[in-house]
Amino acid sequence: MQFPAAQIALIVNGRVEGDSQVSVSSFGKIEEAGQGQLSFLANPKYEDFLYTTAASIVIVNESFELKQAVNATLIRVPDAYTAFATLLGKYQEIMQQQLTGIQQPAYIAGTASYGDNVFIGAFAYLGENVKLGKNCKIYPHVFIGNNTTVGDHCIIHPGVKIYHDTQIGNQVIIHAGSVIGSDGFGFAPQADGSFKKVPQIGNVVIGDQVEIGANATIDRATIGSTLIKSGAKLDNLIQVAHNVEVGHSTVIAAQAGISGSTKIGNGVMIGGQAGIVGHIQLGDGAKVNAQSGVSKSIEAGKAVTGSPAYDYTAALRSQAAARKLPELEKRVKELEALVKQLLSEKV
C-alpha cells in the first residue's frame, strides 16, 4: 500500500515541507532507509543522517532547524517520536484488519461466543462460556480457559495461556508465551515442616489498553482479584503475584518481580530486575530504579534505589562520598603521622 506525504501529514497533524505527493510503502531507520520508505528524526545524535538518507519522507520536530538542504520530503510535527509511533500503530492496525476468520484445527466450545471480524488461529482453544469481543486477533496455540471474557480489539499472541475466569478489557495486547491466571504462590507451613497448598480461587482482571510483554506471569488471586488497571504497560519476563494491584498507566520493566498483595499506584515507574516485597504500597508517581530491592512502602512521587531501596538523592550523595574514601583514607593517615610527629617533638 502506498501512502502520500499529504495523507500522512493529516494523520499526524503535521505540515509538509517538500513534495506532498511523494509516497511511501514501508518504514526504515534514518541511516538505512531507501526510496519509498518513511523515517523520523527525534534524537539529535542522528541529525547527520538526515542530509544523506535515501528515505522519501522524514518526520522531524516542528522546531528543528536545517543546517543544509535535504533530498527527502519533511513532515514537521510537534513531537517526531510520538508521530512516528502513531504511524506505526496505524500501519499495524491496517495489516491486522486483513487477518480474519477461523483457521483449522481450532477448538471452540459450543457455549463460547465471539464478535465480528475476529481471527482465531490454528490450534487455539476457547473453553466453555468464553466471550471474545469484536476485531480480536487470537493467534495459534492460545489457550483461553472457561468463563473468560476478552473485550474488543484485543491481540493475544501465540502460545499465551489464559486461565479460567479471567477478565480482559478492550484494546489489550498480550505477547507470546505469557501466562495469565496461574495459581498464586500460597502455601501454609505445617508443624511437620511440610507445606499445605492454599487453594487460589480468585481471578485476574485486566483493564483497557494494557500491554503485557512476552513470557510474563500474572497470578490469580487467592480470593478476590489480581488487578492490572487501564493503561498499564508490563515488559517481558515480569512476575506479578496473587492479589497485587497495578495502577493506571504504571510501567514495569523486564524481570521485575512483585510479591503478593502489594498495591502499586498510578503512574508508577519500576525499573528492570527490581524486586518488591509483599503487602506494601507504592504511591502514585513513585519511581523504583533498576535492580532495587523494595522492602517497605514508598510515598507518592518519591524515587528510590538500591537494596534495600532508599531515597534516590540520598543514595547518589552516598555514592559520591564512597568514591572519595581512598582520598579520605590517605588524608587520615597523613594527619595521624603529623600528630605523631608533633607529639614526639613535645617529648
List residues with catalytic annotation: 242
Task: Decide if 53 contacts 76 (C-beta within 8 A).
Answer: no
Angle at 120 between CA 118 and CA 126, to 5 degrees: 110
Question: Is there a contact between 168 and 154 (Cβ–Cβ < 8 Å)?
Answer: yes
Other Cβ atoms less than 10 A from the Cβ of 33: the count is: 23
Asked if 252 contacts 238 with a C-beta cutoff of 8 angstroms, the reply is yes
Alpha-carbon distances of 254 from 26, 210, 283, rounded to whole Å = 29, 15, 21
Question: Position 326: which residue type?
Answer: P
Instruction: State the cell numbers at 307.
Output: 537494596
Side chain identity at residue 197, one-letter code = K
Q: Which of 259, 204, 183, 268 is nearest to 233 (CA)?
A: 268
Amino acid at residue number 44: P
SS3 content of the chain, % helix, strand, coil (to 5): 20, 30, 50
Angle (deg, nearest 10), helices 5-12 and 80-97? 110
- Which residues lie below 8 Å from residue 287, measured CB to CB, with a gap of 6+? 268, 269, 270, 302, 303, 304, 312
| DSSP code for 184 | P
- Which residues are paired to 76 by β-bridges? 15, 60
State yes or no: cis peptide before 105, omega within 30 of 0. yes
Which of 280, 340, 271 has the alpha carbon at shortest distance from 306? 271
